Amino acid sequence: MTVASQLKQTIATLNGVKSTLEIYSLKSFNEEEKSIYKNSLKTTEEVIHDLEERLKIVEYEEPQYKGF
């Protein structure tokens, strides 16, 4: 597997993590728990953002691996 496709896989997993966290942050009724999930959501989004930036660079350097 190329670097780009590995990276894409990780980003996809993280997006899954993000949406699950989002569901929990909405449906938990304990305020403390809710805020923990919300903070985690933010951290995950930051990580996803960084990885997507990196993916752009990788795809620019090796355009043959662009896309899926």
Partner 1 sequence: MANWIEILLRSIMLFFLVLGLTRIMGKRQLTKLTPFHFISYSIIGILAALISVNIIDNLVLGLLSLGTWVAFYLILDYFALKSKLIHDWINGRETILIKNGKVMEENLKQARLTGEELLKELRTKNAFNLADVEFAVMETTGELNVLLKSDKKPVTPFELGTEVSPKSAPQTVILDGNILDEPLSNIGLNRGWLNTELEKLGLSLDNIFIGQVDSSGDLYVDLFDDSIQVSQPKIKETLFANIKKCQSDLVKYALDTQDNKAKKMYSSNAKKLKNLMNKLESYLLH
Binding residues vs partner 1 (CB under 8 A): 3, 6-7, 10, 13-14, 16-17, 20-21, 24, 27-30, 32-33, 36-37, 39-40, 43-44, 46-47, 50-51, 54, 57
The answer to whether 2 touches 46, Cβ cutoff 8 Å, is no
Q: DSSP characters for 16-48?
A: HHHHHHHHHHHH---HHHHHHHHHHHHHHHHHH
Taking the complex as a whole, the smallest distance from the CB of residue 64 to partner 1 amounts, in Å, to: 19
Taking the complex as a whole, the smallest distance from the CB of residue 50 to partner 1 amounts, in Å, to: 5
